[in-house]
Amino acid sequence: MRDIKGIETMKIRIGWRWMGVGFALLCMTVKAEGPDYFEANRLMIRNGVQAVLTCNGLFTSHRTLAQVFEQELAYLGDRVLGTAEGGAFQVDMERRSVRVGGGSYGAAIGAVFREGIGCVVMPPGISFDVAESFPKLLTKPPAVDPATLPWPMGDVLTEFELAPGVSALGLQAASDWAFDRPTKEQVTISLIILHRGKIVHERYAPGFDWRTRTRTWSTAKSIAATLIGMQVDAGALGLDAPLEIDWLPSIEDRASDPRASITLRHVLNMSSGLYPVDSFNMEYATGSGLAYWAGASSVDGARNRGLIREPGQHWDYENYDTLLAVLALKQRFDDPSAYLAFPSEALFEPLGMHHTLASTDRFGDFIFSSQVYTNARDLARFGLLYLQNGRWQGQQLISEQWIDFVRTPAPASAVRGHDYGGQWWLVPDDRKSEVPSDAYSTAGNRGQYVIIAPSHDLVIVRRGLDFGKQGFDRWALLREVVKAVPQRTVAPQITSD
């Protein structure tokens, strides 16, 4: 993770930075005034990235090792240890585990698959035998096989006629725009377009189909916000109530801790005022990368930050802010097993999202800032819930008031063009003349997008394995799709009820 040229100057890769719409290596050249004190962390996290992505690629996505190296690991470039033929890693197919690194490659990091959870990362020096104590979630199979049920509760697609004004040729042109990119670094693996609740276009890259689960990255934040909203709707959480977090380091007079003023709204708006780590390029040295990829506690890292700004006044994209909101959600449950079951019972099962796994750290805390594995159809169901104003199969799963909140620009995002709400992204001011201004979307690293455009009765799901410079433009994709779909002129005719 460090390149040294000569004696006078060293080039330090200071971290991989994800700001919702991009993910890039940031490099700076500095005078060599001393050692890189975070080099061991960077190597450990590098190994953990490969371990977790390989483990989930093999045992959650059911991809081959060759496919994992070719695509899942492509964005790591020359930081990958070895090839599909071998290297500084071990795969145990029976135990469903992967270990990467060791010796001169940095601390070895392992990841092991757990039922209903996906791959859980382990800290260095821990035996895989300990993994038996890690969380797992055993769920009952659905009463009726989803493969036999019609969309949207199942995966049987029936023939239908496109709504008046919808152009099949236009949809294909938009699809070609998404798949035939001018750079090889933008890799679209799936695209689904829903109009009025029906799948009017579905396409997959070679090696993928509707069953393939891949990582959502930060699209998970919008899923987390939905679960949190359910608890707000139920009165168990207050949007403007203090988080009631046991902050670290602990102080005797907790009432005097200025962090006590931070509310759920602040963290969901990415404006907690807490010391920024990930957005200051330290994610892969001292930030959330330690929890994602090296086995540290996601909870401890999130609450061990001091207040440097007044809450609500400054926008910083921080994984830890999301994780604080998720911790507030967890604190509403007295039974850890009830908390583990909550996403499935409250959201995934009612929507028919039977291919979705929400991952935890080894302590049983959901890492809902990034680590959900699912397929394109399940994300389309999730988007359809929002298009239908929170209603599904005759039930109001999430209130319209909560949807209004997540779509309302965070006050501190004004300097960015009002492009962020409550763990959802909004059309920035400078794009509103180009695309429907009422649209909003999830956004995840490597190009994971669920776009809702109510004025056109649209949900668009684009999954990617982008790497390098990336930069897939989801609003441009929406622009291409709406060329084929007329604006709504009457009340929507959504069919999932």
- Please provide the DSSP assignment of 300-348 as one string: HHHH---B-S-TTS-----HHHHHHHHHHHHTT-SSHHHHHHHHIIIII
Helix (H) or strand (E) holding 396: strand 395-396
pTM higher than 0.85: yes
- Segment 416-436, tens digit of pLDDT: 999 999 999 999 999 999 999
Give the per-residue pLDDT at 2. 34
Give the burial class of 461: count Cβ atoms within 10 A of its Cβ; 0-12 exposed, 13-18 middle, 19 or more buried.
Answer: buried
- Segment 4-60, tens digit of pLDDT: 233 233 333 333 333 333 333 333 333 446 788 899 999 999 999 999 999 999 999
Q: Which runs of E-coded beta strand occur in 48-151?
A: 89-92, 97-100, 109-114, 118-122
Give the per-residue pLDDT at 8. 31
DSSP assignment letter at 127: -
Give the burial class of 156: count Cβ atoms within 10 A of its Cβ; 0-12 exposed, 13-18 middle, 19 or more buried.
Answer: exposed
Domain coordinates in residue numbering, the chain: 1-37, 38-133, 137-219+336-497, 238-331
Spatial CA neighbour of 359 closest among 158, 115, 161, 142? 115
CATH ID of 137-219+336-497, from 3.40.1710.10, 1.10.238.10, 3.20.20.70, 3.40.710.10: 3.40.710.10
Give the per-residue pLDDT at 3. 34
Give the per-residue pLDDT at 491. 52
d(CA 289, CA 323): 13
Give the per-residue pLDDT at 18. 36
- What contacts 448, CB < 8 A, 6 or more positions away? 214, 215, 216, 217, 218, 219, 442, 462, 463, 464
The identity of residue 482, as a single letter, is V
- What contacts 94, CB < 8 A, 6 or more positions away? none
Give the per-residue pLDDT at 15. 37
Give the per-residue pLDDT at 5. 31
**Across the 497 residues of the chain, what is the mean pLDDT of every consecutive 10-residue run?**
31 36 36 76 96 98 96 92 96 97 96 97 93 91 91 95 96 98 95 98 97 97 98 98 93 89 98 94 90 95 95 97 98 96 97 97 97 98 98 97 98 97 98 97 97 98 91 97 88 52
- Segment 165-220, tens digit of pLDDT: 999 999 999 999 999 999 999 999 999 999 999 999 999 999 999 999 999 999 99
